[in-house]
Each structure stands twice: as C-alpha cells, then as structure tokens.
Amino acid sequence: MCGIVAGLAQRDISKILIEGLHRLEYRGYDSAGVAVIDPAGELRRARAVGKVRALEDELREAPLSGAIGVAHTRWATHGRPAQHNAHPHLSSERVAVVHNGIIENHEALRGELEGAGYVFTSETDTEVVAHLVDRELCSGLALPEAVNAVTARLDGAFALAVMEQRNPELLVGARQGSPLVVGVGIDEHFIASDPLALLPVTDRFVYLDEGDMVAITPAGIQVLERTGDRDELTPVTREVVRYEHSVEAAGKGEYRHFMMKEIMEQPRVLSRTLAERLDPQGVRLEAFDVSRHSFLAADNGAEKGKQVVDVARLTQLFADVRQVQIIACGTSYHAGMVARYWLEEVAGIPAQVEVASEFRYRERVAAPGTLFLTLSQSGETADTLAALRDIQKLNREGPQAGHYLASLAICNVAGSSLVRESDLSLLTHAGPEIGVASTKAFTTQLVALMLTTLALRQAKGDGQTDDLLSRQLLMRLKDLPHVIEQSLALDGEIAQLAEKFMHRHHTLFLGRGSQYPIAMEGALKLKEISYIHAEAYAAGELKHGPLALIDEDMPVVAVAPMDDLMEKLKSNLQEVRARGGQLFVFADPEVSLKAGEGVHVVTVPGVCRFLAPIVYAVPLQLLSYHVAVLKGTDVDQPRNLAKSVTVE
C-alpha cells in the first residue's frame, strides 16, 4: 500500500527520499513521486507510473535537489494509476502533500473547494487536502495550525506529510489512523510511514500516537498533541526508540528473493521468538509486554525505564479467561485457525476465529471472560485494527455492551498501532518481513500462539501437579528450530516437484484437523505468488462437492502427519486416486504411503502432532516459491497485492 518518506536536512535530500521509496517498494504500489523546494525556493515535482526506477529515469532527465522534500509510493484507491493521480499533490504551486489512507468525505470537500474556485487536476481524495491547506494558509494560519484545521475536517484514516514553498524550513506530519514515524537524525529529521524507509539515515524513531502532529524545523522536532476540541496544539514529549534490527536485516543478502531468504531464516527467528520466554516452570509471563495505559502494567514499571507487566495481575487475568476470540486476516488468520485446535485441546478453552473484515461489521455477542486476541505481522492491517478499536469502544460503553477481559496482540512490529493500542502484546521476533507472501511471520506467530496456549494452561493449573503435557510440549518447542532445519533440507526435492505444477491452472490442497489451516495457507501461498488458482478443503469435505473437480489435470496436495486422523485421510486420498487425480503428499516417515503412478510422496521430518502444523507449513512455502520462480512471476511483489493492507 502507499508509502510516505519526507525530510528536512542540511544537505540535498532527494537521494535519501528515493532510497526511502525503494525501501518501501515491498509494500506494493503502482506509481511514485517526489517534490522538493529547490535552492532557488521553487517547489519542484516529479512523478511516474510504475516502479521507482521509472521515477529515477525521469529524474535523470530533469534532476531535482533541495534540503526539504516529500515523496510517496501510491497504491491506487481513488483514480487509476496515472501520473496525474500520483503524489505529491500540489495546490497553488506552493503546498505539497503526500498522503496514506483514505479521506472518506473527499467528495463533499471537493464540491466545496470547486465552489471556492480551486481547480482539481487528479481524481484522488488527497488533492482536497492540498487545497484545504492552501485555503487555511491564505486565511493567515501558519502551516501546523493550517494542517490541524484541515485534519479536523477529514473523515477516515490518514497519515500526511506537508510542506509549503514559502517556508522551506518547516515540514509537518499528521497521523490519524495510518502509521507515521519520525526519524531522528543529527541536524536532520525525517517522516515515514515505515521505519524501514529511513534505516540508512537513522535508527532512532519517535512513533507518533493517534492524532499526533509533528513539526520539523532546523531547530529539531516538536510533537504536537491536539487538545481542547482539537483546535489547540500542545507540545508533548514522546519517547525516542532505537530500531532493533540492522539495515542488513532488511536486505536480500545472498538470496535471489526476499521470500527465499525469509523462508530460510525460520530456524533462527523461531529460536529468537522462543528465547528467554521459557523457564523450567513453563512460559515466563514477563514475555508479554504491556502498553503505556494498560491496566496490566506494573505500578512501578515506568521507574524501571520500561513499562512492564504486573505478573500477578496477568496470572489472574489468564485464570479468568473463559473463551478466546481470535481476529486476523490472510495468513495471520490461518495461524489463528491452528491456535483454535491448541487452545481447546491443550488449554481447555473454547476459541473462535474470524477474519477481521467480517467480525467488525456484524452484531456480536461476547461471552463473559472473553480474551480478544489479534494476530498480525505488520500490526497496521486496517480491518484488524478496526476490530480492536470496535471492541474497545464496546468495553468503554459498559459491561452490557462488551465483555472482553483484555486485548492481546501477537505481532511482529514493536511500535505498531496494534501493539500500542492493545492491553497486552507478545512480539514475534521474525525481523523485517519484506516479501509480500508471509512465511517466517506465520511460523513465529504459531510459536507465539503455542506459548500463549501454554501460559493459559499454566494459569488454570494449581501450579503443584506435574503437568506432563506442558513439559513435553516445552521440550519439543526447544527442538523445533532443529526440525525446521531438516524440513528446509527438502528444498532440492521440492524444487523438482514444482515442475509438475508450473503448467497447471488449478490445485487442490487437503488437510484434516490442525493441518486443515495449513492446507489453506499452502493454497494461499500458491495463488498469491504463482497466480495458480488453488483451493483448500478439509479432506472430509471432499465427497460433499469438490470431488467432482478431480481429474488428471487437477494436482491434489495433501498434508499427512502422523495423527489420529491419518487413516481417515488415507481413505480420502484413495478417493482422489480412484478418480485419476495426481497426488502430492507431504507425509510423516511413519505414514505408510507408497509413491508410484500418480502418487508423489515427500517425507517430512517426524514431529509431535501438536507442532506438526509449524513443520508442514515450510515445505508448502517452498513449493509455492519454486512454482512461482519457474513461472517467472514477481515473487516478492506479486501483482495487485500490498504487504501491509492499511486501507479497507
């Protein structure tokens, strides 16, 4: 989705902005642009449809330079991908705006501005912001006050960076519903929608709170909070946080694609997600972080320099959980579906899983004692965030409206909106995930979900009785990175198998029990990056319809670990084979399945049935990767998709 990078420096900023745009490319976009105020005081702009490379070509023809600038990658929402719709948008040749998100009331504002004589040159919702700011400046307001007055009139979610030709030493940013960070440098400061954009110039960031504005001048950064019915701006102090990953962590290293690098990183990042979270008694509750205003924060936490969780309160909260409501989108939703099996069987707690875009728009009944659990790699997915905000609103309205005990986010991005707005969070330490297809984020989410399941089980126990299942699972978790390494060793075999898929138009994925969501995840990966239509079914559903699709042109991928459902799955596979279907089975060494005519078996390392979903996800990731490479698609930035879906 759209990306913002902007800055004010004491040197030419154009190269920093272009490098920042390259670093935002992974998010998905269709056009790019940049504007600077040049040394002669002129507002200059360049825009191009397509990749940032196209913008660079344009800049080679007509270079831009200046110490202040705003730049953007656009993912079209209002108006097709075209140069005139690309950002930055200007007003009166003196205001330049870049914008992420959607201005919902843009049509009414456009009518009003046209009535006032403004001429629009794009179909975007963003252009209204440029003209509104211009109108406020004309009425005599300074830029921060003008932006504040304008944002007060905007409905929807947005992040903005704005500059004014007459004031080349002032850059203003505003955040409302879309992420925005301030990059803190030495004598130069920046704004971006994602810290990754700025890693070459700084590793220190201020994460703006909802509703914050920032004014950047040569004197420094001033974060402004809107108070008094939003028309007053009060300076506030926000913490400066050091980014924990290196610039290299966001690079491709020796790999051809980010996706492959990220698949191969899994043993290491799974170890990191487990590290320091286990002790001989079980899961350490200190692993859960609390947000600044959380009722679970220890009273003396802030004195220790970091807000920490009150372990006694959290133990009580976990003991009180009667139900878990899991909300997520895409791959994260599949992780949630696996967790449902674990929560019910391991922790004995009923769980419901729903995609955020459905949950947020229906009337719901929350059972008392419900823990609201969100899953997200980015922590910025619009629907997931909206679902969280919705239940928080219900909780504020009183017990008759909502019964959610607390909100817990399992997330990969420390300063993300989801983490900051949830009561509790458990970070996955997958490191930056750049490939649009989620891989290491998924398996680390599963590990974090197993830790949460065990923590809930612990809280329900008496703390005295020896808990054999917990002990066994903890042991197996410690061994998991090693098993994943063995799983990755299947890469060569899977690369060969991929050749059998590259000319197919459809593929069916089958799984049972907690492997059904893994079949769904395998299908999502394949369609997402190879553009092959793929569907997943719980294998027991085959006879209820999809069996009609089976013929020799329909490859059927099955996930077959050693568990209680194995014999039943084998019968389902026989049904496929009897109708001429080509089977590709990822199976446990103990599953006696013979390869032969129409049956390909890939033996996956043996693993305990609870952790099998994590292990079986890996060969399916490799399969879709190799099919996509053979088909020559854009593996890391598949068509039409964005890494982080920050608009509805």
Active site residues: 2, 643
CB of 637 to ligand M6R, least distance (A): 11
Residues 383-402 that bind ligand M6R (CB under 6 A): 384
Q: Does 437 bind ligand M6R (CB under 6 A)?
A: yes
Respond yes or no on whether the N-terminal peptide bond of residue 88 is cis (omega within 30° of 0). Answer: yes
Member of 376, 452, 458, 514 binding ligand M6R (CB under 6 A): 376
d(CA 339, CA 457) in angstroms, rounded, equals: 13
Member of 21, 129, 182, 329 binding ligand M6R (CB under 6 A): 329
d(CA 32, CA 192) in angstroms, rounded, equals: 15
Distances (CA, A) of 366 to 317, 370, 449: 17, 7, 21
Q: Does 563 bind ligand M6R (CB under 6 A)?
A: no
Q: Return the ∠ at Cα 616 (arms to 244 and 460), rounded to 5°.
A: 70
Q: Does 35 bind ligand M6R (CB under 6 A)?
A: no
- Through-space distance between the first and last CA atoms of the chain, rounded to whole angstroms: 11
As given in the structure block, the two tokens for residue 232 are 């007053």
Residues 488-517 that bind ligand M6R (CB under 6 A): none
Q: What is the number of the residue whose Cβ is closest to ligand M6R?
A: 330
Q: Does 422 bind ligand M6R (CB under 6 A)?
A: no
Task: Identify which range of 21-29, 307-315, 375-383, 508-516 contacts ligand M6R by CB under 6 A.
Answer: 375-383
Q: Does 31 bind ligand M6R (CB under 6 A)?
A: no
Angle at which helix 612-631 crosses helix 468-488, to 10 degrees, equals 20
As given in the structure block, the two tokens for residue 549 are 């699709």
Nearest to 449 by CA among 326, 563, 552: 326
Distances (CA, A) of 196 to 175, 176, 444: 18, 20, 20
Q: Does 443 bind ligand M6R (CB under 6 A)?
A: no
Q: Does 621 bind ligand M6R (CB under 6 A)?
A: no
CB of 482 to ligand M6R, least distance (A): 25
Per DSSP, helices labelled H in 416-515 are 417-421, 440-460, 468-488, 491-498
Nearer to ligand M6R, 27 or 89 (CB): 27
Member of 20, 330, 605, 619 binding ligand M6R (CB under 6 A): 330
Residue matched to tokens 């200059």:
44
Q: Are 342 and 390 in contact (CB under 8 A)?
A: no
Residue matched to tokens 């922590």:
379
As given in the structure block, the two tokens for residue 617 are 């996800």
How many residues of this chain interact with ligand M6R, rule: CB under 6 A? 16
Residue matched to tokens 């996706």:
259
Member of 14, 378, 395, 487 binding ligand M6R (CB under 6 A): 378
Nearer to ligand M6R, 314 or 529 (CB): 529
Q: Does 645 bind ligand M6R (CB under 6 A)?
A: yes
d(CA 575, CA 231) in angstroms, rounded, equals: 68
As given in the structure block, the two tokens for residue 93 are 């040749």
Task: Identify which range of 64-72, 166-174, 327-335, 402-410 contacts ligand M6R by CB under 6 A.
Answer: 327-335
Distances (CA, A) of 356 to 186, 329, 422, 644: 41, 6, 15, 14
Q: Is the dihedral of CA 628, 631, 637, 638 positive or negative?
A: negative
Residue matched to tokens 């998709």:
641
CB of 23 to ligand M6R, least distance (A): 17
Member of 125, 528, 563, 588 binding ligand M6R (CB under 6 A): 528
CB of 442 to ligand M6R, least distance (A): 8
Residue matched to tokens 């020559």:
632
Task: Identify which range of 233-241, 254-262, 432-440, 484-492 contacts ligand M6R by CB under 6 A.
Answer: 432-440
Member of 332, 515, 621, 624 binding ligand M6R (CB under 6 A): 332
d(CA 531, CA 83) in angstroms, rounded, equals: 28
d(CA 551, CA 504) in angstroms, rounded, equals: 12
As given in the structure block, the two tokens for residue 540 are 């027991």
Task: Identify which range of 15-23, 293-301, 373-381, 479-487 contacts ligand M6R by CB under 6 A.
Answer: 373-381
d(CA 463, CA 259) in angstroms, rounded, equals: 42
Nearer to ligand M6R, 592 or 640 (CB): 640
Nearer to ligand M6R, 199 or 436 (CB): 436
Q: Does 438 bind ligand M6R (CB under 6 A)?
A: yes
Largest CA distance in the chain: 80
Nearer to ligand M6R, 441 or 583 (CB): 441
Nearer to ligand M6R, 5 or 434 (CB): 434
* Residues in the chain, total: 648
Task: Identify which range of 16-24, 293-301, 372-380, 588-596 contacts ligand M6R by CB under 6 A.
Answer: 372-380
Q: Does 617 bind ligand M6R (CB under 6 A)?
A: no
Task: Identify which range of 6-14, 271-279, 376-384, 481-489 contacts ligand M6R by CB under 6 A.
Answer: 376-384
Q: Does 407 bind ligand M6R (CB under 6 A)?
A: no
d(CA 298, CA 277) in angstroms, rounded, equals: 19
Q: Does 526 bind ligand M6R (CB under 6 A)?
A: no
Q: Does 357 bind ligand M6R (CB under 6 A)?
A: no
Q: Does 48 bind ligand M6R (CB under 6 A)?
A: no
Angle at which helix 516-530 crosses helix 330-345, to 10 degrees, equals 170
Nearer to ligand M6R, 467 or 636 (CB): 636
Nearest to 586 by CA among 482, 474, 536, 511: 511
d(CA 7, CA 28) in angstroms, rounded, equals: 22
d(CA 319, CA 4) in angstroms, rounded, equals: 43
Member of 377, 452, 458, 487 binding ligand M6R (CB under 6 A): 377
Member of 151, 323, 381, 443 binding ligand M6R (CB under 6 A): 381
How many other CB atoms are there within 10 angstroms of residue 34's CB atom? Answer: 33
Task: Identify which range of 92-100, 144-152, 303-311, 329-337 contacts ligand M6R by CB under 6 A.
Answer: 329-337
CB of 647 to ligand M6R, least distance (A): 12
CB of 329 to ligand M6R, least distance (A): 4
Task: Identify which range of 15-23, 102-110, 128-136, 430-438 contacts ligand M6R by CB under 6 A.
Answer: 430-438
The residues binding ligand M6R (CB under 6 A) are 329-332, 376-378, 381, 384, 436-438, 524, 528, 644-645
